[in-house]
Amino acid sequence: MSVYAAHDVLELVGIYVFATSGALMAIRKGFDVVGILILAEVTALGGGVLRDLIIGDIPPAAFTKTSYLLLPMLAAAVTFFAHPVVERLNTTMLVFDAAGLGMFCVTGTLKALDYGLGSFQAVVLGVTTAVGGGLLRDITARETPTLVQVDTDLYSIPAAAGATLVAAASHTDLPLPAVAVGAAIFVFLFRVVAMMRHWTAPRAWERHRRTG
C-alpha cells in the first residue's frame, strides 16, 4: 500500500468514526434528524477543512470529493436507527472520538508533509486536523470543548504523539504507510487508556504559603 492509499483509507475511516461520534452527541442532546446530520457532518469534516484552508488546498477536499460528504450521512443514518441505549451513548461517543483522533492526526500530518511543510509544522497541522472536528462539534452542541475542559483526560497530547511518530518516520527508511496505521492505532489506545486511568495534563505550578 502506498502512502497516498494509506492516507485515503485512514481519512475515510476517520470521517466515518468522527461522524458517528457527532451523531451520538446529537442524539444524547436530543437533536432532531437535521441536527444529527449537521453535527455528524461538522464533526467529520471540520478538522479536514481547517487543514486544507491552512495549506491552501482550495477548495477543501470535503467539497471536491462526493464520498467525503456522503459518508457522514451514512454514519448519521446508521447511528439514528441503531444507536446504543441512552446510558451507554457517552462512553460509545468517546470511543469513536478516540478512533477519529487517531486517524485524523495521522492524515493531517501526512498531507502537511506532502505539501512540503517542515516536521514541526506538520505535527501542529496534524493535531489541528485531529481536534478541529471535535472542537466544532462541542461548540455547535453548546458543550465545553473536550480540548479545554478542566481536568479532562489527555486529548491533544495523544494526537501530538501520533503526529510526531509519523513526522519522525518520514526522515527514515521505515515504510510510511505501515507507520501511519500503527500511529493511528497507538493514538487510539493512548486516548482510551488515558480515559480509563483518568490521565490529565499537568497544571501550572503553584507555591503554597505555609500557615501556622
Q: Is residue 205 part of a domain?
A: no
Q: Is residue 29 part of a domain?
A: yes
Residue 168 has pLDDT above 60, yes or no: yes
Quick one: pLDDT band at residue 86, thresholds 50, 70, 90? Answer: very low
Question: Which residues on neighbouring strands pair with residue 153, listed in sequence order?
Answer: 200
Residues 7 and 107 sit within 8 Å (Cβ to Cβ): yes
CA distance 193 to 135: 21
Extract the C-alpha cell encoding 106.
495521522
Domain that holds residue 23: 3-197
Longest alpha-carbon distance in the chain: 69
pTM of the full structure: 0.85
Q: Is residue 203 part of a domain?
A: no
Residues 176 and 170 sit within 8 Å (Cβ to Cβ): yes
72 to 10, 19, 92, 98: CA distances (angstroms): 15, 5, 17, 17
Q: Is residue 202 part of a domain?
A: no
How many structural domains comprise the chain? 1
CA distance 174 to 14: 23
Quick one: pLDDT band at residue 201, thresholds 50, 70, 90? Answer: confident
Residue 195 has pLDDT above 50, yes or no: yes
Residue that has been written with the C-alpha cell 493531517 in this structure: 108
Q: Is residue 124 part of a domain?
A: yes
| Each residue's pLDDT tens digit, 1-31 | 666 676 788 888 889 999 998 998 999 899 9
Exposure string (b/e) for 50-64, b if CB count within 10 Å is 16 or more?
A: bbbebbebeebbbee
Q: Is residue 210 part of a domain?
A: no
| Each residue's pLDDT tens digit, 37-69 | 999 999 999 999 999 999 999 999 889 989 999
Q: Between residues 206 and 11, which one has the greater pLDDT? A: 11
Q: Is residue 122 part of a domain?
A: yes
Mean pLDDT of the 103-116 span: 93
Residue that has been written with the C-alpha cell 479536514 in this structure: 48
Q: Is residue 21 part of a domain?
A: yes
